[in-house]
Chain A
Amino acid sequence: MNEWLVVAGIGLLAISGLPGLVLSRTGSSGERVAAGLVIAGAIAGIAGSLRALIAPATAVPIRLGWLVPLGAFHVEVDALSAMFEIQVFLLAALGAIYALAYWRQAEHPDNGRKLRASYGVMVAGMALLGVGRNVILFMVGWEVMAIGAFLSITAEDHLPRTREVGYLYLIATRVATLCVIAAIALLVVALGTSEIEGSLDGGAPLATAIFVLAAIGCSIKAGVMPLHVWLPGAHATAPSHVSALMSGALIKMGIYSLLRFTSLFTAPPLWWGITVLALGLVSGVLGVAFAIGQHDLKRLLAYHSVENIGIIAMGVGIALIGRATGRGELVALGLAGGLLHVWNHGVFKGLLFLCAGSVLHATHTREIDHLGGLGRRMRWTSSCFVVGAVAICGLPPLNGFISELLVYLGFLDVATIRPGALWLIGVVSAALLALIGTLAVACFVKVVGAVFLGEPRSSAAANAHEAARPMIGPMLVLAALCFAIGLGAPVIAPALDHAVAAWAPELQLQPTGALAPLTKLAMVYVPLIGLTAAAAWWLARRFRGAPTQVGTWDCGYAAPTARMQYTSSSFAQMLVASFAWALRPEVKRPELSGPFPATSEFHSEVYDTVLDRLLVPSVERVDEQRRWVIWMQAGSAHAYVFYVLATLVALLIWKGGG
């Protein structure tokens, strides 16, 4: 039942954009049909996966034959899948509603229909990946998701920058697929079946190879630093509802795949967990550090995805450490924290990208330093953005704090292990997570301040207008979820327990509610919110009738202008300088000389160190040497036929000889 609902949902998502392709290019019927189909599919999918999450015992796997070698239509929704499915379906529906106003067919006659078709295919691929339990079905989901995402990112393929970003994504996803296919081939050998089920010993000969290949492939998909190179550009360039979906759900499918692979291994080696934890720490700290250096609103949010994937990876790392050392509480806290952060990040990052899209729609710029003062012009968008910002910084009482607290508690548990030296990892990781938290606060205060507060820095910002209702609606839903998950954590905890149990079925685990003080924390929120409301009410009464039309205190200076405000670059300058060893900022300082210096300007830019300073130069260096090999790829069909023939003959000789 649950499985069939989800499959029906996937089907509806997959075909959602197709009717539009044959409907009128100018009318709005195509977009309405698409949104309606996505919503219908999402309702079916959420209903099925919610039931699977609440009552995992109701899972009845679908197993149908399939003519593909090794293939079978084997679909199962366990609690682990359901966690990810709910997120995919929810964000898909909200994105489709948002697109009704954000990417209207009337405004995008050339690519609107194409985008809706590829959007449906992308989300269907993601949902299929989450439930397919046959290796071939899994790879079909993985590939459909990748291709759909490529087509969605390159919706505006008339722009050279978009094409560049699309190709980079394509290269990255090819490499990821190669690794995952290799991992799956080894898995089939190790398991002796083409279904993703059963259990393997973590010390088995092939286990290490499977883990390394799967970890690389999934990390590329998830955007773990330093394999994140495709992510910032793709998130920044894609249409905003696609960015929201990719950041909120698509990169999580990398995490899902890693969890699905690792769930098969009982007693994994300790270094697996430590490796994943270390990758998480690197991603977390450097992701937020790079975010602070950005001027492009969506690129900044993209780097925060790298950071949050890092936090999720920390949780997964703790869980792997717990599974390796037989400590159930580490498995429960780490994985519950990681999985809840998957949800939370989907909610607040989806929200932030939708808000960013609304800003982009209103001002036609993503340049933070050209904005300002939007809080008075776009009240709903700015309030939603502030909610998302508080949530992503992991501040109480919103949702981000709960998952970060669970990960912290995992670290604290590691930090009290004795004897041995493992506890030092817990202390260092907790301190680094605290660093990530404060850096995130710095970064989001910068964004909120530069974009929404103060005075507008350009006429585009001054003339901004509030977004249309179909755009505000999804934002409000996500903002409400930030509060709901934050305040209702004790209610959600049992669902997390089911998902954790699905990952490590061999362990007897305590419920998250018993390990983490979720109920007590929720009780603390009551006086916090009550006191804040009371204080706000009292102050508001005292402020009634206060003069509101005076200027900001400017130290007696007579003619302040909006350009004198602290910009986001100046706000970030000290932090960028202290992370210069990693960020390598390019700074152009003004050259002033003589008593009457000419007009000059200051400019600083933080490029992606891994991509722009490491990968691109080394690829260029290789490219210089290509004449040595280029004759092999001359473009002659005859030559290619010869290659195929030569390979076949070689294989025949090899096989015949053996």
Chain B
Amino acid sequence: MDIVRPILQALFILAVPPIMLGVIVKTKAQFAGRVGPPVLQPYYDLAKLLRKRSVFSRTTTWVFRAGPVIGVTAPLIAAAFIPIGDGDAMVSFDGDFLVVAYLLGLARFFTMAAALDTGSAFEGMGAAREATFACIAEPAFVMGLLAIARANHALSLSGFLGPSVAAHWPHDGPSFVLVAAGLFVVMLAENCRLPVDDPSTHLELTMIHEVMVLDHGGPALGFISYGAAVKLFVFAAMLIRLVIPITEPGWAIWLALAGGTIAISIAIGVVESTVARLRLTHVPAFLLAACLLCALGVVLLVR
């Protein structure tokens, strides 16, 4: 099992993330009364993009090419810290959730730098917004996970999101509910979903992630889309592990995780179908609410 589990985990991380995008799009189509593209469409898109050719602006340097590469490798390594399945994650140590946060920060750094490398005012705008909103989302993320960590007497993701977390729900449930709500908002913001950003539009003055990658094409764009899917999966998997009510390690956790991934994608799809995008100036307040939810989760642990 010790050799099989990491392989299964790696396959899960590599294969599952794009399906989330497919499920979200399908959900939104259902809400709009359309049939929508097949759930596996993101995989077809990736295969198509990887075969395409690329074009580069004469303004760009190596930084523009580094953006997509680090944009996919850093989230993949970050995913290795998430406890997937019935045991510990592939890597686990005290404070590993900070490594996850900072690996995603590394990806963000190079994605934003690549956007600025084009010299386009549009992409600069997107990068500035990404940088600003991350500043509010990140403290919320750290505070939320720290609340779970303290309640569970463990400092690693595998420790405090493993089966033990379900055992602490009866005692620290209120705190966990608040943190889960906060982390859900952080997930929406960090992955540029509605109501913070609209991933389905292009060339709109109010968007963030899509505008940063406007000049990337072909395999580079494929890398970026895949990296974005992996990042979404990282946040979703943490949230799922927080709420799975299974205390015994076993195959049921694998099923719960797979089901949870679909469920959370549907939830995102529902949010995206029913909520309008916030005005840009209101986004910080929305994210501060997430911060406050996580802070309240911490405060509820005082006794």
Query: Which chain B residues border A446 with CB–CB below 8 Å?
Result: 128, 131
A86: Cβ under 8 A from any B Cβ: no
Complex alpha-carbon distance, A574 and B140, angstroms? 19
- Residue of chain A at shortest CB distance from B119: A454
Q: Judge whether B124 and A547 touch: CB under 8 Å.
A: no
Complex alpha-carbon distance, A571 and B215, angstroms? 19
A654: Cβ under 8 A from any B Cβ: no
Q: Judge whether A445 and B131 touch: CB under 8 Å.
A: yes
- Residue of chain A at shortest CB distance from B153: A416
Q: Judge whether B55 and A550 touch: CB under 8 Å.
A: yes
B214: Cβ under 8 A from any A Cβ: yes
CB proximity to B under 8 Å, residues A410-458: 412, 415-416, 421, 423-424, 426-427, 430-432, 434-435, 437-439, 441-442, 444-446, 448-450, 452-455
* Residue with the greatest number of chain A CB neighbours at <10 A, chosen from B60, B96, B118: B118
Complex alpha-carbon distance, A160 and B208, angstroms? 45
Query: Which chain A residues border B132 with CB–CB below 8 Å?
Result: 442, 574-575, 578
Total number of A-B contacts with CB less than 8 angstroms? 241
Q: A445-B113, A535-B72 are in contact. Are A412 and B118 (CB under 8 A)?
A: no
A562: Cβ under 8 A from any B Cβ: yes
Complex alpha-carbon distance, A564 and B122, angstroms? 10
Complex alpha-carbon distance, A372 and B128, angstroms? 17
A168: Cβ under 8 A from any B Cβ: no
One of B95, B108, B123 near A412 (C-beta < 8 A): B95
Stretch from B61-69, B163-171, B256-264 at the A interface:
B61-69
Query: Which chain B residues border A562 with CB–CB below 8 Å?
Result: 119
- Bits for A559-581, please: 1 = Cβ < 8 Å to B, else 0: 00010111000111111001000
Stretch from B143-151, B172-180, B191-199 at the A interface:
B143-151
Complex alpha-carbon distance, A562 and B119, angstroms? 8
Complex alpha-carbon distance, A435 and B143, angstroms? 11
B270: Cβ under 8 A from any A Cβ: no
Complex alpha-carbon distance, A405 and B95, angstroms? 8
Stretch from B23-31, B97-105, B243-251 at the A interface:
B97-105
Query: Which chain B residues border A551 with CB–CB below 8 Å?
Result: 57-59
Q: A566-B128, A570-B124 are in contact. Are A540 and B116 (CB under 8 A)?
A: no
Q: Judge whether A442 and B69 touch: CB under 8 Å.
A: no
A169: Cβ under 8 A from any B Cβ: no
Complex alpha-carbon distance, A424 and B68, angstroms? 39
Q: A386-B63, A445-B127 are in contact. Are A412 and B139 (CB under 8 A)?
A: no
Stretch from A262-270, A394-402, A591-599 at the B interface:
A394-402
Complex alpha-carbon distance, A536 and B62, angstroms? 11
Q: Judge whether A548 and B56 touch: CB under 8 Å.
A: yes
Q: A412-B146, A442-B132, A532-B69 are in contact. Are A455 and B59 (CB under 8 A)?
A: yes
CB proximity to A under 8 Å, residues B45-86: 53-63, 65-66, 68-70, 72-74, 76-77, 80
B125: Cβ under 8 A from any A Cβ: yes
Query: Which chain B residues border A454 with CB–CB below 8 Å?
Result: 59, 116-119
Q: Judge whether A565 and B120 touch: CB under 8 Å.
A: yes
Complex alpha-carbon distance, A550 and B215, angstroms? 11
B121: Cβ under 8 A from any A Cβ: yes
One of B56, B61, B94, B147 near A453 (C-beta < 8 A): B61
A393: Cβ under 8 A from any B Cβ: yes
Q: Judge whether B116 and A566 touch: CB under 8 Å.
A: yes
One of A424, A455, A531, A546 near B53 (C-beta < 8 A): A546
Q: Judge whether A434 and B139 touch: CB under 8 Å.
A: yes
Q: A416-B149, A449-B116, A550-B55 are in contact. Are A376 and B94 (CB under 8 A)?
A: no
- Residue of chain A at shortest CB distance from B103: A396
Q: Judge whether A395 and B102 touch: CB under 8 Å.
A: yes
A215: Cβ under 8 A from any B Cβ: no
CB proximity to A under 8 Å, residues B169-227: 203, 214-215, 218-220, 223
B12: Cβ under 8 A from any A Cβ: no
Query: Which chain A residues border B276 with CB–CB below 8 Å?
Result: none
Stretch from A125-133, A232-240, A519-527 at the B interface:
A519-527
Tell me, rounded to whole Å, the shortest Cβ–Cβ distance linking B47 to chain A.
14
Q: Judge whether A434 and B101 touch: CB under 8 Å.
A: yes
Query: Which chain B residues border A524 with CB–CB below 8 Å?
Result: 77, 80, 91, 99
A459: Cβ under 8 A from any B Cβ: no
Q: Judge whether A448 and B131 touch: CB under 8 Å.
A: no
Q: Can you list 26 pairs linking A and B with CB atoms under 8 Å apart?
A: A386-B63, A390-B106, A415-B150, A424-B302, A427-B143, A431-B142, A434-B142, A435-B138, A437-B105, A441-B108, A441-B109, A442-B131, A449-B115, A449-B116, A455-B119, A517-B96, A524-B99, A528-B77, A539-B219, A547-B56, A550-B56, A551-B58, A553-B215, A562-B119, A571-B124, A573-B128
List 7 extra interface pairs beyond A405-B95, A524-B91, A531-B76, CB under 8 A: A376-B61, A430-B146, A438-B131, A516-B95, A527-B77, A548-B56, A574-B128
